[in-house]
Amino acid sequence: MNPQTAAISPLTHLTEDEQMLCDAAAEFAETVIRPKVHEMDEAAELDPDLIRSFFDMGFMGIEIPEEYQGGGGTFFMSIVAIEQISRVDASVGVFMDVQNTLVNNAFLRWGSPDLKERFLPLLATEKVGAYCLSEAGSGSDAFALKCSAREEGDAYILNGTKLWITNAKEADLFLIFATVDAGAGYKGITCFIAERGMEGFSISKKENKLGIRASSTCELLLEDVKIPKENILGEVGKGYKVAIETLNEGRIGIGAQMIGIAQGAFDAAVAYTTERKQFGRAIADFQGVQFQLARMATELEMARLLVYNAARLKEAGQPFLKEAAMAKFYSSEVAEKVSSMAVDLFGGYGYVKEYPVEKYFRDSKIGKIYEGTSNMQLQTIAKIILKG
C-alpha cells in the first residue's frame, strides 16, 4: 500500500477504484498542495492555480455521472478523497467537500433533468459552488430564515443577507435558501440557484478566521435579485427537505475533514518524536510519549471507523442519520484532541508557525461548529435513541 495512505485500516476494505482515488488524492496533496499550505494560510486565500488543478484532477465532480462530464464515482470515494486532502490542508479539504457533498449532491438528488443538464457539467469542470443557508439569526435554528423570496411573474425576487458562506469568494453558483411565505414557517423555505453577476447579488465581508484561513467565508447581500422560476431546486416550499437531507450527508464530509486533520497532526507527531532527542535519546523512546502516541492512534482509528461506517450506510441506501451525527461529533472531538496533543509533543516548536501542528490545532476547532454544532449532533443522536 502507498505509505501515504498506509494509516487507513484494512478493515474498511477499499475497493480498487476507491484505493486508486485515495492514492491519487494523497499524492496530489503531498506534491501540489503541501508546498502552498503556509503561504495560503498566511494570505488567507486559495491559490487560483490550485483551484484549476482540482477540476483538472476530477476532484470537484467525483459523484457527478460521466454523462455530465463528472467522475462517475461514489459517495465513499468523495469521503476518502476529502480525508486525504484534509490531511495536508483542511482549507482545501473543505473547498472540495462543499462542492461534492453539499452542492453536487443537492443537484443530483433534487435537480430536474434540465437543471442537471445545465449545471452539473459546469460543476464538474469549471464552476465552484456554494451552499447558502446560514444567517445572523439562523444558525442552529436553521429554519429561522429572514431571507425572503417574492413571486413576480416568471421569477422570484430575493432580498436578505447570508452569513458564513464557504467558497463564496471562488464560487460562481450559489444554492440560496429563502422563504416564500414567512407565515408558513419551514414549509415556506425554497432553494434557489443564483449565479455570480446577477443584478443585486454581491459578496461582502470576508471573515478573518482562526483556522481554515485559506477557505473563504463571506457574507452575501441580496438586493432585489431576480431568480427565474426554472432556477428553483426541488419544489417551492420544499427547500427544508433539500437542506436537511443534504446536510445529513455533508456531516459525513465534515467527519472526513476531521479525521484528515487528526491524521496529519498524528503523522507529524510521530515523525517529530522519533527525531527529537532529549537526555541522549529520541523522545519516542520514553514510555510517557509512547502512551500519548498510542492514545492518539486509537482515538483516530475509532473516529475513522465511525466516518467510514456512516459513509457506507449512506451509499447502501440504509438509514444513516444517527451514524452521521455520531461520526461528525466524535471526529471533531478527536481532531481537536489529537492536534492538541501533537502541539504538546512538539513542545515550544509546536507553538510556532514554522512547524505544522499549530495549524492543525487551529483548523480542528471549526469541526465542532459548522454544519451542525456538537450539541446539535448530540441532540439528534439522543432523539433517535429515545425513539427506539
Distance CA 379, CA 296 (A): 27
C-alpha cell at position 131: 451552499
Distance CA 15, CA 176 (A): 36
Report the residue count for the chain: 388
- The closest of 57, 94, 313 to 214, measured between CA atoms, is 94
Which residues are 135's β-sheet partners?
A: 138
Contact in structure between 149 and 178 (CB atoms under 8 Å): yes
The catalytically annotated residue of 63, 83, 323, 371 is 371
Task: Count CA atoms within 13 Å of residue 222 on its CB side.
Answer: 27
Q: 209-222 burial, b for 16+ CB within 10 Å, e for fewer? A: bebbbbbbbbbbbb
Q: How far apart are the first and last CA of the chain?
A: 41
Catalytic status, residue 354: no
Using DSSP bridges, classify how beta strands 201-206 and 189-195 pair: parallel, antiparallel or unpaired.
unpaired
Distance CA 86, CA 150 (A): 40
DSSP structure string for 240-277: HHHHHHHHHHHHHHHHHHHHHHHHHHHHHHHHHHHH-E
Task: Read off the amino acid at residue 176.
Answer: I
Active-site residue set: 371
